[in-house]
Structure 1
Amino acid sequence: MYPDEFPRNAWYVAARSAEIEQGRMLPRFLLGDPVLLYRTQDGTPVAMVDRCVHRQMPLSLGRLRGDNVECGYHGLTYTPTGACVRIPGSTRVSDKVRVQTFPLVEGDGLVWIWMGDPDQARPAQIPDHHWYTADGWSTAAGTLHMDARAQLLNENLLDLSHLSFLHPESIGSPEIAELPITTTWDDHTVTVRREMAGVSCPPFFTRVTGIDSPIDRQQIAEFFAPAFHITTTTVKPSGDPDDSRMCRQKTMHAITPETRTTTHYFWSVSRDYAVGDDSVTDYTLSAVAGVFEQDIAACEAIEHIIAAWEPSYPLELNIKVDAGPLRSRRILEKLLAAEGAAAGARPQDRFTDTATRAAARAWTERATILSG
């Protein structure tokens, strides 16, 4: 079965740095919980549960008072540490009155959140993605939303044979699905490698690299459990012995569960060719978003079939290219089993997931209003 729960003792992307603006609040559901993101006056990002402990009012409907958040219902005020420092009509506030906050790490264009046991949070566990903001690279990035479970995207990104059929007009070519793969893994990662010599150059790469002849293409899909991917693609004219003419591209996929069956999709494409060429960046932004929207449509269609069969599950045929996706399932299952209930995860059935999805949709609409 496709997992629909994810471990909480792990780093997830909460937002792209550019999404959390000074002086604005960003409400967002993450792993089934309402979270409020904002920046203090010195630019430090903050994440806290988006609810006042008094009467459950979303704090994102309140206002920022300097570095603090004031509830818009009765005026309770919380510091970035979650401590309540003001209750109107009270002269003393117990230090036990607080909202939960979450560890954050910001770097290289992303804001990462840890929603499990804070004592287990280790920033060194965050995968390297320095090229997102590094000199010598140009990056196009965006955020998408998917009405399907996160694991469907995890598996989509580890089985790139689908490029031949789902994306033939952009990044796919007929040969991809027929060529062999090499799959390796450990307890937390899966790597799927495909070497392609003398294959046709897909339309997207012809447009951005100028190559309109057969190419030698290498594709390496790396999965970092529970929900982060880096796809490294290199292309050059077929048979060209000069690697200095090779074009390199790093595509980042941060797949953060919103609820049991909805997902935030943070993506970027960084390249070491045509650096600084805004026309290539603009085209990449539009074209790649279109590719990922096709992936999302496919995953959402699969989610509809899964929902129709619940609580049972339709039979599936596994083939050679499924080694990576199936290994990612096993890794997630082991992480969840090791974590157990200690991290505070709340199992959700279909009824509670429907309610959480409705709440998450309201939070998304509120975020759109606040950013406008």
Structure 2
Amino acid sequence: MQATRRAFLLGGAAAIAGTKLTEARTFASRPWGVAPSDRIAVGVIGCNGMGYSDLTSLLKLPEVECVALCDVDRNVLERRAQDVEQTTGTKPALYEDFRRILDDDNIDAVVIGTPDHWHCLQMVMACEAGKDVYVEKPMANSIEECRIMVAAAKRYDRVVQVGQWQRSGVHWDDAIKFLRSGKLGRIRTARAWAYMDWLPDIPNIPDEPTPAGVNYDMWLGPAPLRPFNRNRFHFNFRWFWDYAGGLMTDWGVHLIDIVLYGMDVTAPRSIIASGGKFAYPDDAEETPDTLQAIYEYEDFTMIWEHAVGIGLGPFQRDHGVAFIGNEGTLVIDRAKWEVFPETGTRNSAPYYKMEPVPTQRVRPGAAG
């Protein structure tokens, strides 16, 4: 039996997230097994980077019809429109102003794939317009903004999901079940890390005129006004405080979330952090390329660390999460998880190693 529109909206965001776990596939025509009246009309706001990843996931869902695209870069917008038409045979409406999508009463839901500094305002306005929302991570750039977004979802009774897609992965869930089985003993420390050897330095280049086809004022939105600089635009927005929080909010938001999920905790009692620009001290980026943070909880400590220009992290992995207990340590990344028994203990956890899941290895920032 086909899902109703409302039921799909309640569960469909998880389906969108789940499609990220399969191998990337080329666009191809697909059968339409869902009546037009039961399809969810979706508009995508921000079609580059993660917005593009979300769009490709949407196009694999027969319950969804992508009816509108919005992007401030006309070059990006036209390429994504071709993808939609090639896949579905229909042409989406194209906008550079996201408010046009929100004004369309025929659109049920929106995907927000814009840079981080736009998330709060666009999500709140979408809820106010009666749209359900899938908003990319991080949810926002401050706790205050996050609270405003939660209040908006409740006030307007909207279905909202943040793009923490790792929670939709079967092997993540299996690892958490093992963690909660108690076989690791008491967890004293949890570690999460991202060592990104592939990230280059960002040269200091002069400002320049805005490229043709780019609505730069709309791209800036609530951020401070400043001249256009291509090294702050598109993918590189992540490394500048006006728009984002660097690797902490790019990868940390995913991996720290697994610790919070596994340990069933929320806010820590205290946090201390230390870091700086140690890999590329003279390049253009503003956020730390090297950072360690310690989160103190009631009965365990969480440690986050990231480093640019280094690829060998803890447990021989460039990214991952480790739950360190009295009887063993569980280590998990996006490919697999395994358990290392604690030597010298009578009740050590059994060794376990799963086969890697069949996913493409993708550039961390591009598919985060």
Q: TM-score, normalised by structure 2?
A: 0.28
Structure with the bigger RCO (C-alpha within 8 Å, sep 6+) is: 1
